[in-house]
Amino acid sequence: MRFPLLCLFAVLFLGRACAEEPFLKKGDVIALVGGEDMVVSSEYGYLELLVTRALPDYQLRFRNLAWEGDTVFAQFRDLNFPSWEEQLDKIGATVVICQFGQMESLAGRKQLPEFIAAYQKLLDRFSAGGKRRLVIVPPTDVWRIPAISAAKEQGRSDDWNAYAHAAEEIARDGRLRFADYTALDDAEMCRDGIHLSATGQLKQAFEIASTLAPFEAVANAGVEQKKGSHSVTLPKLHGAGALDAPDREGLRQLIVAKNRLWFNYWRPQNWAFLAGDRTNQPSSRDWRDPSKRWFPAEREEFLPLIEAKEKEIDALAAKSK
């Protein structure tokens, strides 16, 4: 059966018992880390949209630090790129949402112990001795999509399950928040057999948001909910992931624009000229006074642009209350 334009599914509450204190706090800075699906999540902006609309008074700040190809074993960066500790401290991160295990599962169960050990070490770095609250998102359940039959035939769905369960156990043992979600049971949620489509991104965003904020608030923020039921209908998508809901789409566009500014600030394409091994090149220095470097100062001009866009987001979100 093809995935309908209006996605109807039941939200499971396993592992989502409400704590006495809300998980998110006002003014939280939420860092996203992981591989390609986490990178793309900010390009669509669904997660930030749902959480921002659910908690409009919190003035939350989202910073995507994910990178395509990142695994728990390696996160390759250019020369002199800041460490995780430096990056998280610089942005003032108080919450880190982590998603790893997708590509690692391709190695099969034999590498599972190494995955668990490497993940725990990485989480220790993210946590900084408990200074930051952590959320673990399991790897995407693409191998169970019926349309991707080859993966099943090769036994990859079992490997995925092992890594997903390992992520859940790590969260439970460390008393971390675990953002479980229902199975991705339709090919339209996947764009290439490995990564999420816009529809898949929207569903996963709803599930993660429901872990961070009260379910009712998230449901009211982005979906239609049947009264007295935990079944919800996600908005219809158009074109490149646009929501069929003008009020929500306007806020999403602001979020996407802000995230693009952040991406250009955090991941400049010419890092080697900024802080790598080509800082002595003439193009990295003022043509009138080679002793001065214009590039670092120019990069910082993104920050007030990001701040201005976030004020727009706060103002528009406040109107949604």
- In a domain, residue 281? The reply is no
275 part of a folded domain = no
In-domain check, residue 32:
yes
DSSP state of 111: G
Domain limits for position 157: 8-256
Evaluate whether residue 304 is within a structural domain. no
In a domain, 302, yes or no: no
- Total domain count for the chain? 1
Give residue-wise pLDDT tens across range 172-197.
999 999 998 655 666 678 887 788 99
Strands 231-233 and 8-10: antiparallel
**Number of C-alpha atoms within 13 angstroms, CB side, residue 206?**
28
Q: pLDDT per residue over 281-312, tens digit each?
A: 888 888 889 888 988 989 999 999 999 999 99
Helix 246-266 to helix 46-54 angle (10° resolution) is 120
Torsion of CA 107, 112, 115, 119, to 10 degrees: 140
Is residue 108 a part of any domain in this protein? Answer: yes
Q: pLDDT by residue (tens digit) across 5-34?
A: 333 333 333 344 443 467 999 999 999 999
Residue 96 lies in a domain: yes
Domain assignment present for residue 317? The answer is no
The owner of tokens 């995507």 is 64
Sign of CA dihedral 143, 145, 149, 155: positive
CATH number of 171's domain:
3.40.50.1110
pTM passes above 0.85: yes
Q: Tens digits of per-residue pLDDT, 77-136?
A: 999 999 999 999 999 999 999 999 989 988 889 999 999 999 999 999 999 999 999 999
- Encode 178-213: b = buried (16+ Cβ within 10 Å), e = exposed: bbbbeebebbbbbbeebbbbbbbbbbbbbbbbbbbb
Torsion sign across C-alpha atoms 279, 283, 286, 289: positive
